[in-house]
Amino acid sequence: MPARGVRVLVPFGPRRVIGLVTGIATALPETMKDVVEVLDEVPLAPPPLLDLATWISEHYLAPPGECHRLVLPPAGVRASRAVVRLSGGEMSPSDDDPVLAALRAGPLPLSTLAKRMGRDPTARIARLRREGRVEVDQDLARPGFRQLRIAVLTPTAADLRPRGRAQAEVLGRLTAAGGRAPVPHVLRDRPSLRGALDRLVEQGAITIEEERAVRTPEMLEGPVKLRPEPTGDQASVLQPILAALGAGFAPFLLHGVTGSGKTEVYFRAIERTLEQGRSALLLVPEIALTPLLVRAAVGRLGAVVSVLHSELSVGERHDQWWRLREGEARVAIGARSAVFAPLTDVGLVIVDEEHEAAYKQDESPRYHGRDVAVMRARLEGAVVLLGSATPSLESNHNALAGKYRRLVLPRRIGSQGMARVDVVDRRQALKAGADPILTPPLRDALAERLARKEQSLLLLNRRGYATSLLCRECGMQAMCPNCSVALTLHKGGRVALCHYCAFETSAPRACGSCKGEYLRLTGYGTEKVLEAVRAALPTARVERLDRDLAVRRGAVAHVLASFEAGETDILVGTQMIAKGHDFPRVTLVGVVDADVGLGLPDFRAAERTFQLLTQVAGRSGRADLAGEVILQSHRPDHYALQLACAQDYDAFFEREMEFRRTMAYPPAATLVNLVLRARDSTEGAEAADAVAARLRGLAGGNFRVLGPAFAPLARLRQEHRFQILLKGRRKAMRDAVREALVERYGRVRWPGVAVDVDPVTIM
């Protein structure tokens, strides 16, 4: 009987497909076919992860297959590489290659095969040629950040009598390998030997050495910070966390102002978890933006860390997955999808910057990494720690309702308090004829930093050169041909780009509507800010950081590193510069236009703005230099701005909750957002009307149905989009949506329909 989590080959019509055993049924209908082959010796995913996948499928109304793929090895289920099988009979029967012999008995996962070949499964990809030879493809050999744990027999082993077969097996394997072998090699095919190995290590018969097998990528090198003594504040939040470790599920919200030392709290909690023999997960919004955190973690925790970086090659990803699965790595650090790291015995799950929208996946399955993290901790019986300087309204609401225990770090580390914040009213500045990008106070403050050899950050949360191209004669705007969106101008105004579908064209010279030739650029983005700063301060070394740059591999790391090294004076950028960086020489943060996010038609507009401004303000004056923040705004009285200036989270929370309650938005209500797409607008509108009508029929007082309406982006990638918003009880909404969509589209696929349960945005 195959176990849960094992892959099987099953007949499916005329084909055979790979399936995953998600449960064992006791009574089966007659028509059920037999499994052709069981493909794995041990379950690929540990049981809590299988439960997690099932939960995601139910909670987010996503197909079970898609959800289970999340917890399997990368490219696991479908990719032919994952399983190697003999295909033809063309091989000579006398061939006594052990790998071929193994394959003759049935297909094997690549990792198992590679291990039998005594090779590193990631550095090389094995392929079976038709004539029956195993080929190793060297092209895919790339250095990873692998530190091997090597088991070494020590002299005491000679006079030690192994207790039990497992210990004898471990000693036997190690002796056969010449007394020294990587731990995964000793445990190969039998992860259950780990206990015996650990006991032999305790008894001193075996020692474990660490060896760096392959070159470490640059981002992980660098000076290792010492382990500081916790401050009084840190000690008092650590106390309940450490006490909870090992004692079952316990959720915490850690509200620590920027620079209050949350990272050290994370590290101490991870260290304790490792001491208890359990494993830990650390989620960050985006790995590329947190090189310092990653480096510090690797420096502190060493070889047990696996960093799931988005720039890993397929082979490296595969390698890290198996390191975690086999217990060689016991701490996983990564973005959203690292919540599925195949660790066993998880004792601690940390979500840093838990308020970040990046935790929400914007394609199916539309899960929220933070909420999945809490669920995983529940299934594992672990502690979960949500950290932020600006907690999401949801998490703070949960904490106040007693669902999470709330911990506070109210002060910055060191002698400097929070930075001083000044607001420049741009309406007055513009009336006085000031430069719209750099008003005199901001320009003077930048010049002052330059003279003092200190650094500045300049935020504008809008990339590009100009936000639109207008015809002066007829007033038309250059629009994307595929989307209902104005084109943004890039590269000094020479290129017009759609930020939604990536449509790109050279900037038109004449109006598409009246053929008028007087076109005007309006609005501005980071590119224009860079130009303005260079014009105003010609001696300053200025760089830009935004998504346009991020498409070049390694470019983000390079810009951050040169800013950190002091080779750049002013860094201009979008919200990418506002994230958790810790640059000690930054004493000025300027926000060119603090109102950018406020006008968006989204219920989170104020929350996002408050978070962004508070976070970016937190980048100023972090070490022993005092910090200053200058916000330029047209709406200096808006509460999101006012309270961000005052750094008053609690007041913002109260004010914003009032709005959410009045309008029945989360966390005061639950939302399910449906977007229906269609090439033909009439067809789309009809489908949306029919689905909405059916949902109203099913609502029964449990939820409200708003719409259908044109989605805020009414046309995207040549498709028309209609939106239906449900507010009310989650379970009733989910059941109704499932029923309405199954009735209309059938059980398997709902083409053109995106279901978003707990959306972070309804734009």
Site for Zn ion, residues 462 to 491, rule: CB under 5 A: 480, 482-483
CA distance 755 to 23: 26
Nearest C-alpha neighbor of 323 from the set 523, 115, 141: 115
Tokens of 144: 């990873």
Q: Are 296 and 333 in contact (CB under 8 A)?
A: no
CA distance 285 to 580: 10
Tokens of 438: 């750099």
CA distance 43 to 4: 6
Q: Which is nearer to ligand ADP, 228 or 240 (CB)?
A: 228
The window from 22-30, 32-40, 254-262, 268-276 that contacts ligand ADP (CB under 6 A) reads 254-262
Shortest separation between residue 551's beta carbon and Zn ion, angstroms: 17
Q: Which option in ligand ADP, Zn ion, none does residue 261 bind, with CB closer than 5 to 8 A by kind? A: ligand ADP
Q: Which option in ligand ADP, Zn ion, none does residue 483 bind, with CB closer than 5 to 8 A by kind? A: Zn ion
235 lines the binding site for ligand ADP (CB under 6 A) = no
The one among 43, 121, 132, 256 contacting ligand ADP by CB under 6 A? 256
CA distance 503 to 143: 36
Shortest separation between residue 496's beta carbon and Zn ion, angstroms: 11
The one among 59, 68, 115, 262 contacting ligand ADP by CB under 6 A? 262
Shortest separation between residue 19's beta carbon and ligand ADP, angstroms: 44
Q: Are 609 and 594 in contact (CB under 8 A)?
A: yes
531 lines the binding site for ligand ADP (CB under 6 A) = no
The one among 113, 280, 498, 676 contacting Zn ion by CB under 5 A? 498
417 lines the binding site for ligand ADP (CB under 6 A) = no
Q: Are 64 and 27 in contact (CB under 8 A)?
A: no
Site for ligand ADP, residues 580 to 619, rule: CB under 6 A: 580, 582
Tokens of 713: 């982006």
Q: Which option in Zn ion, ligand ADP, none does residue 503 bind, with CB closer than 5 to 8 A by kind? A: Zn ion
Q: To 10 degrees, the CA torsion angle through 662, 667, 668, 672?
A: 90
Q: Which option in Zn ion, ligand ADP, none does residue 139 bind, with CB closer than 5 to 8 A by kind? A: none
What is Dmax (Cα atoms) for the chain? 95
Q: Which option in ligand ADP, Zn ion, none does residue 482 bind, with CB closer than 5 to 8 A by kind? A: Zn ion
Q: Are 365 and 67 in contact (CB under 8 A)?
A: yes
Shortest separation between residue 478's beta carbon and Zn ion, angstroms: 12
260 lines the binding site for ligand ADP (CB under 6 A) = yes
501 lines the binding site for Zn ion (CB under 5 A) = yes
CA distance 621 to 412: 10
The one among 230, 246, 516, 712 contacting ligand ADP by CB under 6 A? 230
> What are the residues facing 670 on neighbouring strands?
728
Q: Which is nearer to Zn ion, 484 or 513 (CB)?
A: 484
Helix (H, G, I), strand (E, B) or coil at 451: helix
From residue 502, how far is each of 483, 487, 497, 505, 597 by CA, in Å?
A: 10, 10, 6, 10, 21
Q: To 10 degrees, the CA torsion angle through 655, 660, 663, 666?
A: 170
Shortest separation between residue 290's beta carbon and ligand ADP, angstroms: 10
Tokens of 320: 């890290």
633 lines the binding site for ligand ADP (CB under 6 A) = no
Count of other CB atoms within 10 angstroms of residue 156? 13
488 lines the binding site for ligand ADP (CB under 6 A) = no
265 HSE (CA, 13 A, CB side) = 33
Q: Which option in ligand ADP, Zn ion, none does residue 498 bind, with CB closer than 5 to 8 A by kind? A: Zn ion
261 lines the binding site for ligand ADP (CB under 6 A) = yes
Q: Which is nearer to ligand ADP, 14 or 232 (CB)?
A: 232
Site for Zn ion, residues 503 to 522, rule: CB under 5 A: 503
Interface pattern 539-578 for ligand ADP (x via CB under 6 A): ----------------------------------------
Q: Which option in ligand ADP, Zn ion, none does residue 480 bind, with CB closer than 5 to 8 A by kind? A: Zn ion
Helix (H) or strand (E) holding 197: helix 194-202
CA distance 490 to 463: 8
By DSSP bridging, strand 125-128 and strand 134-137 are: antiparallel
Q: Which is nearer to Zn ion, 500 or 639 (CB)?
A: 500
From residue 580, how far is each of 257, 259, 351, 355, 614 by CA, in Å?
A: 11, 9, 13, 12, 11
The one among 48, 76, 217, 259 contacting ligand ADP by CB under 6 A? 259
632 lines the binding site for ligand ADP (CB under 6 A) = no
Q: Which option in Zn ion, ligand ADP, none does residue 196 bind, with CB closer than 5 to 8 A by kind? A: none
The window from 163-171, 262-270, 376-384, 481-489 that contacts ligand ADP (CB under 6 A) reads 262-270
The window from 115-123, 259-267, 530-538, 691-699 that contacts ligand ADP (CB under 6 A) reads 259-267
Q: Which option in Zn ion, ligand ADP, none does residue 697 bind, with CB closer than 5 to 8 A by kind? A: none
Q: Which option in Zn ion, ligand ADP, none does residue 122 bind, with CB closer than 5 to 8 A by kind? A: none
Cα torsion angle, 351, 354, 358, 360, sign: positive
CA distance 191 to 60: 34
CA distance 490 to 689: 39
Q: Which option in ligand ADP, Zn ion, none does residue 279 bind, with CB closer than 5 to 8 A by kind? A: none
Shortest separation between residue 229's beta carbon and ligand ADP, angstroms: 6
CA distance 599 to 604: 11
Q: Which option in ligand ADP, Zn ion, none does residue 710 bind, with CB closer than 5 to 8 A by kind? A: none
CA distance 523 to 465: 8
The window from 253-261, 322-330, 469-477, 528-536 that contacts ligand ADP (CB under 6 A) reads 253-261
Shortest separation between residue 510's beta carbon and ligand ADP, angstroms: 51
CA distance 220 to 125: 25
The window from 122-130, 260-268, 471-479, 549-557 that contacts ligand ADP (CB under 6 A) reads 260-268
From residue 428, how far is each of 130, 523, 529 by CA, in Å?
A: 77, 18, 20
Q: Which is nearer to ligand ADP, 560 or 598 (CB)?
A: 560
CA distance 324 to 309: 14
Cα torsion angle, 459, 462, 466, 467, sign: negative
711 lines the binding site for Zn ion (CB under 5 A) = no
Shortest separation between residue 228's beta carbon and ligand ADP, angstroms: 3
The one among 106, 228, 508, 554 contacting ligand ADP by CB under 6 A? 228
| Residues in contact with ligand ADP by the rule CB under 6 A | 228-231, 234, 256, 258-264, 413, 580, 582
| Residues in contact with Zn ion by the rule CB under 5 A | 480, 482-483, 498, 500-501, 503
